[in-house]
Amino acid sequence: MSNKKGLWKYLLIYAVAVSVLVLLDLWLKLWSVEHLMGQASRSLIPGVLGLTFHRNPGIAFGMFRNLEYGQWILSGIVALLLLAVSWYYTRIPFGRREDRKYWALRIPAILIAAGGAGNLIDRITLGYVRDMLMFEFINFPIFNLADAYVVAGCFMGLFVSLFVIKDIP
């Protein structure tokens, strides 16, 4: 397989995977508006995970919610990070049999990009991010599926880069 053809294959996988994850996130956000907004919290897994609806005008833990032009600044930063993750994805080796181990780096990039894109869409179209998931066993901020993608992708990428792949590009 030529390098150019191989790159396009991996870019297509990236685009489809990110799109599917973003659509799942947006569907859950829409569902939460229709079924949770203005309602009491619901228990999804009793004592562990619950559902509620919350508008988050800031970022993680509601930080920067009162920042003037905050949504546009945050949107610009997220857009730049999405470009950086996408650029990094194209730099992950591919094409040779020994390059298959690098899938462990592709998956975190896909998760991070999907999470960033899902929240960016909310931020640009609504001016806030729709959150709906809450841990019931600890006092933890309400979050959404996109947030979970980003956190899982970051932890997975960190784990892979520290313990699995020693020759990271």
Q: Where are the beta strands (DSSP E) in the chain?
A: 42-45, 49-56, 129-135
Q: In the predicted model, is pLDDT for residue 14 greater than 90?
A: yes
- 3-state SS class at 12: helix
Predicted confidence band at 126 (pLDDT cuts at 50, 70, 90)?
Answer: very high
Which tops the pLDDT comparison, 54 or 72? 54
d(CA 6, CA 94): 7
This prediction has a pTM of 0.89
Which tops the pLDDT comparison, 14 or 94? 14
Is 147 an annotated catalytic residue? Answer: yes
d(CA 73, CA 87): 21
Q: Which of 25, 99, 122, 147 is catalytic?
A: 147
Which tops the pLDDT comparison, 102 or 134? 134
Q: Which of 25, 99, 122, 131 is catalytic?
A: 131
Is 131 an annotated catalytic residue? Answer: yes
The two tokens of residue 28 are: 């859950």
